[in-house]
Amino acid sequence: MISSIFVNLPVESLTKSVDFFTELGFKFNPQFTDDESTCMIVNETIYVMLLEHKKFQGFISKPIADKSTTEAILAFSLGSADEVREMTQKALSLGARKLNEPEDHGFMFSWGFEDLDGHLWDLFWMNPEHVQ
């Protein structure tokens, strides 16, 4: 069974990406960090590897998706609707692009942003009493 996930994302500037995600409250593992990549800690089992384009390209034979395409939507559950609002508003204030308008379905609240490199982040909260 899978015990953890490492999502690998290409970034244009590691420094700018680290600054952006640090301001959003993320930490990084220096053990897995060099001049071209770093390991962003989401929680104890979820990690996002940020790799500058040259290093990312070394792992693949296809071109890197550019900002005009979508390679994936990263969906993350947060502890409350307020946490979703706070993180999205903070990301937008740091230069992220609004992905959509906030969506409140009563039992679920979501709102997303496009980070500095065009990666889509869908943040949501779902009432645990609603999930069976």
For residues 78 and 57, what is the distance between their CA atoms, to the nearest angstrom? 31
Residue 30 has phi, psi (to 5 degrees) of -65, -20
pLDDT in tens, 21-39: 999 999 999 999 999 999 9
Mean per-residue pLDDT, 1-6: 90
In the block, residue with structure tokens 């690998």: 8
Q: DSSP label at 31?
A: G
pTM of this prediction? 0.89
pLDDT reported for residue 129: 83
pLDDT in tens, 49-91: 999 999 999 999 999 998 889 889 999 999 999 999 999 999 9
Domains, the chain, ordered by start: 1-61 (3.10.180.10), 70-132 (3.10.180.10)
